């Protein structure tokens, strides 16, 4: 496969775009739907991500202002929990298990081969938005190590030579 990488910048956004009124209205509805948003920040971010597919800086800044907290508070939560995306995800989500069992059985080699095939690094998305890739601590299938998960499908006892064939199943 050709090199289709999109390398994120340190700011994670290519351009800052002011929010349009529809976005503000939607974010206000999200804030209003959370009983105590100051103490349910994770839920607030989950709802925003469900609406937009990822968390834009501008959305987090608006939410922070709306609930009386700092942007860095919400950003810290969004970067701590693996469930949050700070850039648009691909159509297919690849998770490479790097837990102890998978690590011992060669998950590092799987990650390196995926990076080579897709032309992206961990936590990046291919330019065509076909794939996003991240590592996860454990997928709970240690007997199948090493393994990857694409969307909701798990592939066990994967060797680097299997990866191109697996990826071909996902358009």
**How does pLDDT run across 24-49, given as a tens digit for each residue?**
999 999 999 999 999 999 999 999 99
Return the higher-pLDDT residue of 5 and 112: 112
Do 164 and 117 meet the contact criterion of CB atoms below 8 Å apart?
yes
| CATH no. for 21-80 | 1.10.10
Alpha helix ranges (H) inside the chain: 21-33, 41-52, 57-67, 71-80, 100-104, 107-118, 163-167
Residue 98 exposure: Cα atoms within 13 Å on the Cβ side: 14
pLDDT at residue 4 greater than cutoff 80? no
Residue intervals in the chain for CATH 3.40.30.10: 92-167
Q: Which residues contact 116 (CB under 8 A, 6 or more apart)?
A: none
Q: Report residue 82's pLDDT band, with 50, 70 and 90 as the boundaries.
A: confident
- Is the pTM higher than 0.75? The answer reads no
% of the chain surpassing 70 pLDDT: 91
pLDDT of residue 83: 86
Assigned token pair, 42:
């994770």
pLDDT at residue 3 greater than cutoff 80? no
Do 69 and 41 meet the contact criterion of CB atoms below 8 Å apart?
yes
pLDDT at residue 87 greater than cutoff 90? no
pLDDT of residue 169: 96
Distances (CA, A) of 4 to 17, 30, 117, 123, 148: 25, 35, 9, 14, 21
Q: Report residue 114's pLDDT band, with 50, 70 and 90 as the boundaries.
A: very high
Q: What is the DSSP string of 138-171?
A: --S-GGG-S-EEETTEEE-S--GGGHHHHHTT--
Quick one: fold of 92-167?
Glutaredoxin (3.40.30)
Assigned token pair, 83:
């469930």
The model's pLDDT over 120-136, given as tens digits with 9 standing for 90+, comes to 999 899 999 999 999 99
Residue intervals in the chain for CATH 1.10.10: 21-80
What three-state secondary structure class fits 94? strand
pLDDT of residue 70: 97
Q: How far apart are CA 14 and CA 60, in angstroms?
A: 16
């Amino acid at each position: 496969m050709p090199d289709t990488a999109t390398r994120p910048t340190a700011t994670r956004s290519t351009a800052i775009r002011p929010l349009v009124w529809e976005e503000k209205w939607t974010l206000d509805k999200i804030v209003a739907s959370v009983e105590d948003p100051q103490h349910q920040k994770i839920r607030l971010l989950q709802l925003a991500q469900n609406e937009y597919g990822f968390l834009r800086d501008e959305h987090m800044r608006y939410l922070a202002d709306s609930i009386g907290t700092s942007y860095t508070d919400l950003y810290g939560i969004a970067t701590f929990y693996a469930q949050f995306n700070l850039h648009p995800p691909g159509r297919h989500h690849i998770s490479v298990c790097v837990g102890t069992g998978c690590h011992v059985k060669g998950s590092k080699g799987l990650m390196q081969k995926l990076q080579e095939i897709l032309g992206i690094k961990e936590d990046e998305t291919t330019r065509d938005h076909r794939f996003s890739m991240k590592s996860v601590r454990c997928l709970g299938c240690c007997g199948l190590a090493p393994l990857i998960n694409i969307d909701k499908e798990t592939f066990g006892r994967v060797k680097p030579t299997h990866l191109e064939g697996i990826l071909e199943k996902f358009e």
